[in-house]
Amino acid sequence: MSLNPLGNYHSGSIEVICGPMFSGKTEELIRRVRRAQIARQKVQIFKPAIDDRYHESNVVSHSAQEIQAQPVKDSLEILKKLFDSTRVVAIDEVQFFDESIHKVVSKLARRGIRVILAGLDQDYKGNPFGSIPQLLAMADSVDKIQAICTVCGGPASKTYRKFDQKEDQVVVGEADIYEARCRTHCDYSEEEELLFFHWGKPVDQTQSPS
């Protein structure tokens, strides 16, 4: 905790904005950052250097909103680049960071900083992405937002990879590779396997439920 100009203690916090691609995570991160800037709080915005889809340094939404950011190659670089006066730290595409990101985030919050994180909760197979599980568990607030399914127009909470690009979890791409889809319009072979296995044993499909 640290003292604010009124002599009160700043209590740090961790906010997570998650959901599939195109759900508005970056728009929401930019909205929160702009409000903090209006309140004249010193804000630093970081993004992983791997994500250079739209701009090398800026954070850019699919609706072309953008804000200046600092690209960093790993989570420790966030601590190295931090100014003493910073009150708010925003990190976009947080799922791409290394496994130390949750320690870095926790350290920031303990220093009295408001930490705003945006990232994919699931990869294209529907599995938790990177350090997201720890970050969701640590967070003071979590907003899981939805996009619009490109097939049926319903709420979409999945990211569908249109072409199977090897098996790599991380293939940085855009609408050329990915679409937002609802559960019905997303085929996950791993989820299907769960239907056939129960406590590690194959389920006898010929037996009717008792």
Name the site residues for Mg ion (rule: CB under 5 A): 25-26
CB of 83 vs ligand ADP, minimal distance in Å: 26
Residue 12 contact, options ligand ADP, Mg ion, none, Cβ 5-8 Å cut-off depending on partner type: none
* Interface with ligand ADP (CB under 6 A), residue from 12, 14, 16, 22: 22
In whole angstroms, how far apart are CA 128 and each of 19, 33, 40, 121, 139? 11, 26, 35, 6, 16
What stretch of H or E contains 105? helix 101-110
Residue 136 contact, options Mg ion, ligand ADP, none, Cβ 5-8 Å cut-off depending on partner type: none
Q: Catalytic: 93?
A: yes
- DSSP assigned state of 15: E
Query: Which pairs from 40-44 meet CB under 8 Å and 24+ separation?
Result: 41/87, 41/88, 41/114, 42/83, 42/85, 42/86, 42/87, 42/88, 43/86, 43/87, 43/88, 43/89, 43/90, 44/70, 44/81, 44/82, 44/83, 44/86, 44/88, 44/89, 44/90
Residue 124: HSE in the Cβ half-sphere, 13 Å Cα cutoff: 18
**Which residue's C-beta sits nearest to Mg ion?**
26
The total of other beta-carbon atoms located within 10 Å of residue 200's CB is 5
Stretch that binds ligand ADP, among 25-33, 133-141, 182-190, 191-199 (CB under 6 A): 25-33
Site string for ligand ADP, 138-157 (x = CB under 6 A): ---------xx-x-------
Site for ligand ADP contains 31 (CB under 6 A): no
CB of 59 vs ligand ADP, minimal distance in Å: 9
CB of 150 vs ligand ADP, minimal distance in Å: 5
The total of other beta-carbon atoms located within 10 Å of residue 88's CB is 21
Catalytic one among 15, 28, 93, 179? 93
Site residues (CB under 6 A) for ligand ADP, limited to 172-191: 180
* Interface with ligand ADP (CB under 6 A), residue from 14, 26, 105, 186: 26
Site for ligand ADP contains 48 (CB under 6 A): no
CB burial class (10 A; 0-12, 13-18, 19+) of residue 196?
exposed
Size of the site for ligand ADP (CB under 6 A): 15
Binding site for ligand ADP (CB under 6 A): 19, 21-27, 61-63, 147-148, 150, 180
The residues assigned a catalytic role are 93
